[in-house]
A = this chain, B = another copy of it.
Amino acid sequence: MSLKLTILGCHSATPRSFANPTAQFLEINDRGFLIDCGEGTQTQLRKYKIKFSQIKHIFISHLHGDHIYGLIGLISSFGLLSRQTDLHIFAPKELEELINIQLSITKSWVSFPIIFHPLTSKNSELIFEDKKVEVHTIPLKHRIYTNGFLFKEKARDRKLNMKAVKEHPQIEVCDYHKIKKGHDFVSPEGEIIPNCDLTYDPPKILQYAFCSDTAYSKKIIPLIREVDLLYHESTFLEDNKTLAKLTKHATALEAASIAKEAGVKRLLLGHYSSRYKNEELFLQEACSVFTPVELSEQGKVFQVENQA
């Protein structure tokens, strides 16, 4: 069980030669997820050696251009490269119309199925689930309908303590499944061996929360409590707090306050406004209320290994 986040772009919309807009690739529990898809994302994927075939699910926070303008190019390229596998897109509902019109006008018919999962709810909901991972929305407070996403490993079975199990010859292989699920062993004669004597705790599940774009909002705290890694936008510093409020973005200090109150393990900042030339200032401001804080940077990889 591990979590690996590759930053493909982490700047706000104003274009600069070195600054790509938001896009991240998350690998969690053997699953790969693309989060947001600003212009140039497909080139960034190539640059950082993330195979297009790894992308089966794309999560789009909101329909501002700096989070989606790379999507049509990526989809068209999938088509050019003769992709056959399904592509699932979780996004505000208007995206489907936008993608379909673009494919139609550019005559870029693709041969693989695109399955849109329209997001409309203003409450947190479970939007994806398989054997290994689940994804919940985190409703955010921005100028338009926006969701963050909580990526959460599924709880695993308890681990058998084989040495202890072998000491009880009445336990047979066919009993293992129930024991791993946490049940005590009960012999045909009614003897009870407590589960805690037969198993170890499973690895702790890992969780990643992506929160961008958003104004400071305490409402998200219950949804991101104690996550292993929190990405929270910090478009501004406190010197532009009024502008942050006006544009419904957050400051580095506000992001750190949220991290602190939610008791997260690590905070990652990003979506820096182009007005700031020195990104270290974001780190300094956030560190005044919470640590550890790290700065998103294109191509940088953040990993969380489960120690259990």
Contact = CB atoms under 8 A, between A and B. Distances in A.
Given A102-B98, A107-B64, A108-B64, A17 B46 contact: yes
B106 A64 contact: yes
Interface string A31-50: 00000000110111111000
Contact of A40 (B39, B77, B98): B39
Interface in A32-75: 39-40, 42-47, 63-66, 68-70, 72-73
A50 to B, nearest CB: 11
Interface string A227-269: 0000000000000000000000000000000000000000000
Given A15-B42, A97-B105, A65 B69 contact: no
Interface in A186-206: none
A127 interface: no
Contacts of A2: none
A145 to B, nearest CB: 10
A174 interface: no
B46 A15 contact: yes
B98 A68 contact: no
A76 B65 CA distance: 7
Nearest to A101: B101
Nearest to A44: B17
B13 A68 contact: no
Contacts of A101: 97-98, 101
Q: How large is the interface on A (under 10, 10 to 19, 20 to 34, 35 or more residues)?
A: 35 or more
A126 interface: no
A43 B15 contact: yes
A14 B106 contact: no
Nearest to A47: B17
Given A98-B101, A98-B102, A15 B65 contact: no
Interface string A64-107: 11101110110011001100000000000011011001100111
A281 interface: no
A177 interface: no
A171 to B, nearest CB: 55
B77 A72 contact: no
A16 interface: yes
A65 to B, nearest CB: 4
Contact of A73 (B39, B63, B94, B107): B39
Contacts of A115: none
A300 interface: no
Contacts of A68: 106
Interface of A: 13-17, 20, 39-40, 42-47, 63-66, 68-70, 72-73, 76-77, 80-81, 94-95, 97-98, 101-102, 105-108, 143-144
- Interchain residue pairs A-B with the least CB separation, the first 9: A17-B47, A17-B46, A15-B42, A39-B73, A65-B76, A69-B73, A65-B106, A94-B105, A98-B105
